[in-house]
Amino acid sequence: MYISRMKEIITYCANRAGKLEKLPSGLWHHHDIRNNFYDASYLFAAALDHSIALEVDREHAKREAEQVMLQVLRLQDRHNESDTYGHWPLRLEPSPAEAKVNPLPAELMGLLMVYFYKRYKQELSAELRAEFEAAFETLRNSSFYRVPLHYYHHHEAKYTAAKIIYGTIFNDSGLLKDGAESLKATLERIKKVGMTEYGCLPWFWHWVQAFTSAYEIADDERLRSKLKEMLDFLWDTRAVFYWKGAWVGAHSRGLPHDLPSDGNVLFDYVQFGDFSFPADVPRVEYAGFLYAEAPVYAIAKVNERTYPHEVKQLVPAKPEASNYEVLHSYVYMDKSFTAGGMWERAVEFDNEQHRWSITLPASGDGLANRVYFFHPGVHFGGVESNDWRHQSNIEQIVMHKGAVLALYPIADNEADHIIGCLPKGTWLFEEKAMYGQCGDVYIAVHLQQSYTAEERSVAWRIVSQGSSNGAAVEAISLEEAAKQGIANLEQFAAAQRQKPAVFAGGHGAEYRTLANDRLELRLNEEMNQFHSIVNEQEVSFEAYRVNV
Q: Where are the domains of the chain?
A: 1-103, 367-546
Phi-psi sector, 421: left (phi>0), alpha (psi -120 to 50), beta: beta
- DSSP bridge pairs for 464: 418
Position 528 scores a pLDDT of 80
Give the span between the Cα atoms of 112 and 391, in whole angstroms. Answer: 34
Residues 6+ apart with CB under 8 A from 265: 245, 275, 278, 362, 364
DSSP 349: G
Distance CA 94, CA 73 (A): 19
Q: List, in sequence order, every residue forming a beta bridge with 426; answer none if it has no partner.
A: 437
| Local structure of 202: helix, strand or coil | coil
- Rounded distance between C-alpha atoms, residue 240 and residue 369, angstroms: 19
Q: Is the dihedral of CA 475, 479, 485, 487 positive or negative?
A: positive
β pairing state of 518-524 and 529-534: antiparallel
CA distances 158 to 95, 151, 167, Å, are 28, 12, 14
Which residues of 44-180 form beta strands (DSSP E)?
A: 88-89, 101-102
Q: What is the pLDDT along the chain (548 residues), one digit of tens a residue?
A: 999 999 999 999 999 999 999 999 999 999 999 999 999 999 999 999 999 999 999 999 999 999 999 999 999 999 999 999 999 999 999 899 899 999 999 999 999 999 999 999 999 999 999 999 999 999 999 999 999 999 999 999 999 999 999 999 999 999 999 999 999 999 999 999 999 998 878 899 999 999 999 999 999 999 999 999 999 999 999 999 999 999 999 999 889 999 999 999 999 999 999 999 999 899 999 999 999 999 999 999 999 999 999 999 999 987 654 556 899 999 999 999 999 999 999 888 899 999 999 999 999 999 999 999 999 999 999 999 999 999 999 999 999 999 999 999 998 889 999 999 999 999 999 999 999 999 999 999 999 999 999 999 999 999 999 989 999 999 999 999 999 999 999 999 999 999 999 999 878 999 999 999 999 999 988 778 999 999 999 999 999 999 88
φ/ψ of residue 515, rounded to 5: -85, 5
| Residue 99 DSSP symbol | P
Cis peptide before 89 (omega within 30 of 0): no
Q: Return phi, psi of residue 505, to 5°.
A: 60, -135
Entry pTM: 0.97
The rounded distance, in Å, linking the Cα atoms of 373 and 131 is 50
CA pair distance 384, 388, nearest whole angstrom: 11
Establish how many alpha carbons lie within 13 A of residue 205's alpha carbon, considering only the half-sphere containing its beta carbon. 23
SS3 assignment, position 341 = strand
Residue 5's H or E segment, with its range, is helix 2-18
Write a three-state SS string for 387-438: CCCCECCCCEEEEECCEEEEEEECCCCCCCEEEEEECCCEEEECCCEEEEEE
